[in-house]
Structure 1
Amino acid sequence: MKKLVLLAVAATVASSPALAISRYNSPSMTCEAARAAVLSQGAVVLRYPSKRVAGMTLYDRYVRDNNQCEQHDYAARAYVPTRDNPRCPVLACKPVDDSNGSMFHRPWIRF
């Protein structure tokens, strides 16, 4: 019986789609295309070269709204370089500041 259950679980896991997150190089995209990717997919990883360290690639997870963040995070304004805009506005998850005791108040910033 245990083998049958284990086999069923393995078959279910193997047949379910992978929950992979898309990755993009933001300097090769327009700002509109980068924002459209975030909006349509909910969350993406955007990569871009560091301006301070030669050869270093920076990346982060950018999201559509607070619903894509962990419970104690919120979607904060961030900027990424794109082909047509050095400061393309997007959102990235950041920890909620609990210094004022309002841990469950997550600011809502429009994309």
Structure 2
Amino acid sequence: GHSKGRPQIDSSKATDKINPMDFTFVEINEAVKLVEMGVATPQDIDTAIKLGLNRPFGPFELAKQFGAEQIAKRLEELAKQFGKKIFEPAKTLKEGKLEELLKAGKAEGS
């Protein structure tokens, strides 16, 4: 049923609604926050994820494929859906400045 024009969320069916990409977007968001805090460069994080978790791509390499706008939009949906601030997109994603962050990281690391 609907209330206030919104579909009711049946928590027993919540697992069907999780998109595997959501985990990737949350991971990208956390990686962006680390770079914003000056803890690591995008390259450091991608290398650590690939070597440490034996994955073909790091979060920033994946982020480039999706773009900040799509990632930020989905993270905002997750934050609303679960009522958790942790899912809210990092400043860089919200402002669509992912490309700049990646370029800045490269200049610093070269």
> Shared topology, TM-score over 0.5?
no
Q: Bigger radius of gyration, 1 or 2?
A: 1
Q: Which has the higher helix share?
A: 2
Q: Shorter chain as normaliser: what TM range?
A: under 0.3
Q: Which has the higher strand share?
A: 1
Q: Normalization by structure 1: what TM-score? A: 0.27
Higher relative contact order (CA 8 A, sep 6+): 2
